[in-house]
């Protein structure tokens, strides 16, 4: 069973009436990163004990099961426990993956063919950065394109950071950056040294699970993003009204389904991603191996 709550109890959300978990499954290994492959019914996940990727099939409408259908082998030279991943819409389904900047690569999901490898050698972590943060930028049209550095000095204000890019190439939204202290910043990659807007989300135990930070834009819902990695929830925010004040932002919806039905300490949400066509449908995974596909109902008014 899954439970979700709007930020305000006045919304009158009824679990049996207003939402449902559409499908799910259990992974034999932890799921620390999760992405949908564009234009397919496939999902790609990663997690310990190595940096290989697992490929999943979301079953037809008459089934509620997500099934494992294959894997993309790990780069044996890395020795890293898991890989960050992103999916790309191209002539064939691609997945970008890597655990450090010196092993970022793009693989064609169906053929398992490597189509790009970053030309950089550094020990910096990928996706979550320490103080003095910088962004690595590359042109993937070049087979061995080097990653260039773009400084973002305002990120030194707190903790470690992760980034979420707009949901599609045609989306004009800025990139969203999330710190382990709960700071949210919107920035333009053409001039990342200047923040466009700032906000702060109320999070438990700031910085305690920095490796699981995740922020993502909704590809089919303008100005909406989701945040996870602090506890067993996924929080959804509307960012259109944010300014440079950095004031606390209230979520419009909180998914609590991963915290119910178990014993002992509640699981931690390790990653989430949005459905590309359904505006309010998300996928999320937790440290107990549970995978959820869920949505919520827009309140009246």
Whole-number pLDDT of residue 122: 46
pLDDT at residue 127 tops 90: no
> Over the stretch 63-79, which tens digit does the pLDDT of each residue have?
667 788 889 987 665 55
Domain boundaries, the chain: 7-295
Mean of the pLDDT values across residues 112-128?
63
CA distance linking residue 296 with residue 282, whole number of Å: 9
* CA pair distance 270, 287, nearest whole angstrom: 6
Output the average pLDDT for the chain: 76
Write down the pLDDT at residue 117: 80
Is-contact 202 248, C-beta < 8 A? yes
pLDDT tens-digit map of 207-245: 566 788 899 999 888 899 999 999 999 999 999 889 988
- Residues of 180-209 as b/e, b for ≥16 C-beta within 10 angstroms? bbbbbbbbeeeebeebebbbbbebeebeeb
**Which carries the bigger pLDDT value, residue 105 or residue 235?**
235
pLDDT one-digit tens code per residue, 89-104: 667 788 888 877 677 8
Which pLDDT score is estimated for 135? Answer: 66
Choose between 298 and 77: higher pLDDT: 298
What is 7-295's CATH superfamily? YVTN repeat-like/Quinoprotein amine dehydrogenase (2.130.10.10)
Band (172; pLDDT cuts 50, 70, 90): low
Which of 33-37, 51-55, 62-66 comes out lowest in average pLDDT? 62-66
Tell me the C-alpha distance between 92 and 170, whole Å: 18
Reported as a single tens digit per residue, the pLDDT across 243-295 is 988 899 999 999 988 887 666 788 899 889 888 788 999 989 888 878 888 88
Residue 200 to residues 182, 222, 229, 261: CA-CA distances in angstroms? 6, 20, 15, 30
Kindly tell me if the per-residue pLDDT of 105 is higher than 70.
Answer: yes
22 vs 163, residue with greater confidence: 163
Q: What is the pLDDT of residue 224?
A: 94
Beta 33-36 vs 53-58: how paired, if at all?
unpaired
């Amino acid at each position: 069973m899954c439970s979700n709550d709007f930020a305000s109890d006045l919304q009158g959300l009824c679990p049996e009436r207003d939402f449902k978990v559409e499908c799910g499954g259990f992974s034999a290994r932890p799921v620390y990163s999760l992405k949908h492959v564009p234009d397919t019914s496939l999902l790609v996940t990663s997690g310990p004990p190595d940096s290989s990727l697992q490929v999943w099939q979301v079953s037809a409408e008459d089934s509620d099961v997500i099934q494992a259908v294959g894997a993309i082998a790990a780069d044996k030279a890395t020795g890293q426990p898991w890989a960050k991943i992103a999916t790309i819409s191209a002539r064939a389904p691609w997945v970008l993956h890597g655990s450090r900047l010196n092993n970022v690569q793009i693989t064609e999901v169906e053929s398992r063919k490597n189509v790009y490898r970053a030309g950089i050698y550094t020990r910096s972590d990928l996706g979550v950065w320490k103080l003095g943060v910088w962004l690595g930028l590359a042109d993937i049209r070049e087979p061995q394109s080097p990653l260039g550095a773009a400084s973002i000095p305002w990120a030194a204000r707190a903790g470690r950071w992760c980034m979420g890019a707009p949901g599609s190439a045609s989306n004009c939204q800025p990139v969203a950056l999330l710190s382990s202290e709960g700071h949210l910043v919107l920035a333009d990659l053409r001039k990342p040294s200047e923040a466009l807007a700032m906000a702060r989300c109320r999070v438990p135990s700031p910085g305690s699970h920095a490796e699981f930070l995740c922020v993502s834009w909704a590809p089919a819902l303008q100005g909406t993003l989701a945040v996870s990695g602090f506890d067993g929830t996924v929080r959804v925010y509307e960012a259109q009204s944010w300014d440079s004040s950095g004031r606390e932002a209230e979520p419009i919806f909180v998914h609590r389904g991963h915290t119910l039905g178990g014993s002992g300490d509640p699981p931690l949400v390790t990653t989430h991603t949005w459905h590309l066509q359904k505006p309010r449908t998300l996928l999320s995974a937790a440290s107990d191996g549970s995978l959820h596909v869920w949505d919520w109902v827009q309140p009246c008014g």
